[in-house]
Structure 1
Amino acid sequence: MFKYHVDSPSICSIGYDDQSRVLEVTYHTKGTYQYRNVPMITYQRLSAAKNKQLYMKRFVDDNYLII
Structure 2
Amino acid sequence: MVRNNINSSNIFSLGYDYENKLLEIEFDSGEIYRHSNVPKSVYEKMMNSEFVGYYINYNVRNNYPCVKLK
What's the TM-score, normalizing by structure 2?
0.89
CA distance in 2: counterparts of 1:30 and 1:62, whole angstroms: 20
Distance 2:35 2:14 in 1: 11
Counterpart of 2:29, as a letter, is T
Matched, 1:66 2:69: no
The alignment of Structure 1 onto Structure 2 pairs a total of residues equal to: 67
Equivalent residue runs for 1:1-67 within 5 Å: 1-29=1-29, 31-67=31-67
Structure 2 unaligned blocks of 5 or more: none
By how many angstroms is 1:30 displaced? 5.5
Moved over 3 A (4+): none
Shift of residue 19 of structure 1? Answer: 1.0
Q: Offset of 1:54 from its aligned partner?
A: 0.5
Give structure 1 stretches of 5+ with no counterpart: none
Identity of aligned residues (%): 27
In structure 1, what is the Cα distance between the partners aligned to 2:30 and 2:5?
A: 16
Helix, strand or coil for the counterpart of 2:66?
coil
